[in-house]
Every structure is written in structure tokens, then in C-alpha cells.
Amino acid sequence: MAKQFEKLEQMHKEFISKQHIFFTASASATSRVNLSPREIGALRIVDDSTVIYLDRTGSGNETAAHMLADGRMTIMTCAFDGAPRILRMYGQGEAINWATPEFSDLIKIHYDGKTPRGTRQIMRLKIDLVQTSCGYGVPLFDYVGERDAIENWHDAKSDAELTEYWRDNGVESMDGLPTGLFEK
């Protein structure tokens, strides 16, 4: 039932564009596996072998640490309505720091020049394998909308408070790996 592809094809791009959520998974050789849900509006398809997403403030910064230590990342999306399907993108990832010119360029090109509050980096995945599978085990859910919680949390903080939060919660993973958040 699973099919593998070397790159994203048009049917994959169309499938991704219809979803509301994606998941990222990463780990180093010695760390815990991190799995995080993300809202699909953060994801952009750069080309047939590259996707990026906005990484906004969270409770930790595990993915960035894993990108420095190992770079392996998987992005998955699945259909919660319509025909069942799962799509996974495997490859090497990297964190693009908020304080770099490349970050600014990517925001201009792929996000209409608008950086949502709390965006601390952009994650880029260079895809080496795309795999689709049936998704028969994925339940049906009705999409109601996005939560306001993250926007409310960011809006309640000043820029200095966000930076302080990043320093307190984003420079080291739960396994003690550096994230590179304040390195250029």
C-alpha cells in the first residue's frame, strides 16, 4: 500500500494544500524522539525537494537541537476528512535562525514579508524520500478552526519578554543538546 517517490509530485502538493495540520518528528542518536503538531499555514513548499515552516515559540526547542546534532527530520500530514491518506516527507533538516539575512529573505519570498510574532526560526527540510500510505487507521475529524491561544500568548508579551522566554526555554533541549537559537 505504501508508495515511495524521490520528490514531491503535483498530487502530493495538492494533498498537502488541503490539510489543516502537519506533524514534525526529529531526534538525535542519543535523544528522545520529538513529535510536534503544527498548523498548516506555517508550511511552504519551496520546490519539489524542499519545504520550510515557521517555528514559533513553544515549550521547548527540541527540533532545532536535533537539527544541529543530527539533522534527520520527518514531516507528516494525513487526511482527517475525505479519502484516507498519509504523506510523509523524510530528509535532512536545518534551523534558519531569526537573526540571519537568510531568515529575512525566506520571510519576504514565502510569507509575504510578514513574520508572525513569536517566530524564532524557520525549519527547512531537504527531502530525500516522499512516502504515501493508505491512512485507513486515521479517524475522521471535523475541522472547526485554529486556536487563538498561541496568538494571545505572543500578543501578551513584549519583544523583550519573548526574547527572555527564548533564553530561558529555547537554548538547550530536554536532553541537554544546544539549539543554536542565539548563534548566527
140 within a domain of the structure (yes/no) = no
Main-chain dihedrals φ then ψ at residue 120, nearest 5 degrees: -100, -20
pLDDT range class, residue 1, cuts 50, 70, 90:
confident
- pLDDT tens-digit readout, 65-94: 999 999 999 999 999 999 999 999 999 999
182 within a domain of the structure (yes/no) = no
178 within a domain of the structure (yes/no) = no
77 within a domain of the structure (yes/no) = yes
SS3 166: helix
Is 169 exposed, middle or buried (CB count within 10 Å of its CB: 0-12, 13-18, 19+)? Answer: middle
The answer to whether 86 and 45 are in contact (CB under 8 A) is no
Residues 6+ away with beta carbon under 8 Å from 17: none
- pLDDT tens-digit readout, 10-32: 999 999 999 999 999 999 999 99
Residues 6+ away with beta carbon under 8 Å from 67: 26, 73, 93, 94, 95, 123
Q: Is-above-0.85 flag for pTM?
A: yes
Q: Can you give the residue range of the structural domain that contains 164? A: 3-135+146-169
Residue showing cell 489543516: 20
Q: What CATH number did the domain enclosing 109 receive? A: 2.30.110.10
Average pLDDT, the chain: 96
141 within a domain of the structure (yes/no) = no
> Is the per-residue pLDDT at 184 higher than 70?
no
123 within a domain of the structure (yes/no) = yes
> Is the per-residue pLDDT at 162 higher than 90?
yes
180 within a domain of the structure (yes/no) = no
For the chain, the domain total comes to: 1
> Is the per-residue pLDDT at 59 higher than 90?
no
177 within a domain of the structure (yes/no) = no
The answer to whether 80 and 105 are in contact (CB under 8 A) is no
